[in-house]
Chains A and B, each alone.
Chain A
Amino acid sequence: MSEAIVITSGKGGVGKTTACANLGVALASMGYKVVLVDADIGLRNLDVVLGLENRIVYDLVDVVEGSCRLRQALIKDKRIDGLFLLPAAQTRDKTAVNPEQMEELIERLKEDHDYVLVDSPAGIEQGFRNAISGTDRALIVTTPEVSAVRDADRIIGMLESLELSDPALIVNRIKPKMVAKGDMMDISDIMDILAISLIGVVPEDEYIVISTNRGEPAALAANNSKAGQAFRNIARRISGEDVPFMDLSDTENWWSKIANFFRAK
């Protein structure tokens, strides 16, 4: 049974595209057939994060308008079998497609893939409505900031009214050291407000910047970044596995470990 999942946030810059790319890579690495749909028409990014921008010939709008066949627009990932990208058009805008067309497109993609991951644009306007059309569930990405949490709350409210119920939350870019000092919202503060299920916590990781610039998602098995591991765990949870949350305090450096060691005495 295939599933279409939209990755959304309300606020921009919280890591929707990064999460989408990494979850796609992780799910495909587990052997699933996955297609990533970039619904951010006019501001396409997902192709860059995946390092596939120079392979684009046709895009989502071409498919919807019938200028090409769906198969022609799908870009096969260069590293992992079973991972495909349907890129957004860069020269058009959100009004180029409507929710009904998106719903039909997602249905067609679900026929051939185990997972359809839709990367939603920021905002609550037509782009967002397009992105959620035809999807079965939603993953909400937020960062531990008051502004991002408030926007996530807004999105959850909208999803509830659109009957896309039971969204799950990814808390991205958390800094365990700042949380420990009380300088950053912790998970319980966020869960207190949003009151939805938590599917993953991703630590702030400099490697994400490097991997995004290189077009090599951190979740590729070859690297050991904490964020990559967190995304692989989320992918396993999406597939129904019960994976314990990892201990993020390990990201502390050796000096604070020693300090903690003495403090514990």
Chain B
Amino acid sequence: MAEKPDLLFRGTKNGLHLVLNGTKDFNVLKAKLKEHLNRADKFFQGADVTLDIGDAEFSLDQILELQQILATPHGLHLKKIVSGRDESKREGRRHRESGDATDRSVLGGTETEYRVRNQVTEGAFVYKGTLRSGQRISHDGDVVVVGDVNPGAEVTAGGDIIVMGSLRGLAHAGTAGAKEAVVVAFNLKPTQIRIGSAIGRPPEGDVGSREGPEVARLKDGVIVIEPLDESRWEGDW
């Protein structure tokens, strides 16, 4: 098999598809991308770009850098980021759950652009500060709160919710029906958690204090809360 190109632009019906070879050095990729865009001049102007990073792991800063390169001066909008490995796993699980024959056949045809995409990868909304009673954040993609979510406050996200602080209010992840959405908090003491259409609330009475970051996710249609240790990050969500 020939070596994967460093980067590849493909036109699809959903806009431009940019595939980056994540095994290469980020700076090399950046330079190649710039070069490529300069050569294309105004050819791509105004296009919506789906960035496929395959198996690579990019930091938020790196993603933002790429977004910047695409945006100026070439006027491309980074609309979606997909990672091949996660994507295929998610798809696999979803189709196992639904058991839908037509879906499976779509999955069988491995054309990337025909995959049913995870609807939640619209990019994360980052809120810095404490979300107080009566305040509400609502976003189609993931939501990151750098601060606390107090009782009476609400966070609604199409994707995951990550609270880098105490979650004491209400969190609703996966509003678009994404069953793999999770709620993560350094201190998870919510009034209520909703994932998709499932609703969970903490058990009545004093259940003793738990320490450390935790993750809430759906398991067999029920919201379960587990400690967030490193192995979970590599898990299949």
Contacts and interface: CB of A to CB of B under 8 A. Distances in A.
Nearest to A146: B151
Contacts of B132: 153-154, 156-157, 160
B133 A154 contact: yes
Nearest to A152: B133
A157 B134 contact: yes
B148 A195 contact: yes
Of listed B133, B150, B151, B166, residue having the most chain A CB within 10 A: B133
Contacts of B134: 124, 153-154, 157-158
A150 interface: yes
Interface in B166-182: 166, 168
Interface in A160-214: 160, 192-193, 195
A154 B236 CA distance: 38
Contacts of A77: none
A62 interface: no
Chain B's interface: helix, strand, loop or mixed, by majority? loop
A169 to B, nearest CB: 13
B133 A157 contact: yes
Contacts of B166: 192
Contact of A150 (B130, B133, B135): B133
B152 interface: yes
Nearest to B150: A153
Of listed B130, B132, B134, B150, residue having the most chain A CB within 10 A: B132
Contacts of A151: 133
Contacts of A193: 148, 150-151, 168
A171 B231 CA distance: 43
A25 to B, nearest CB: 32
Nearest to A192: B166
Nearest to B131: A157
A193 B133 CA distance: 10
Nearest to A160: B132
13 contacts: A146-B151, A150-B133, A151-B133, A153-B133, A153-B134, A153-B152, A154-B132, A154-B134, A157-B132, A160-B132, A192-B166, A193-B148, A193-B168
The 5 closest A-B pairs by CB, nearest first: A157-B132, A154-B133, A153-B133, A154-B134, A153-B132
Given A153-B132, A160-B132, A193-B148, 15 more contacts: A124-B134, A146-B151, A150-B150, A150-B152, A151-B133, A153-B133, A153-B150, A153-B151, A154-B132, A154-B133, A156-B132, A157-B133, A157-B135, A158-B134, A193-B151
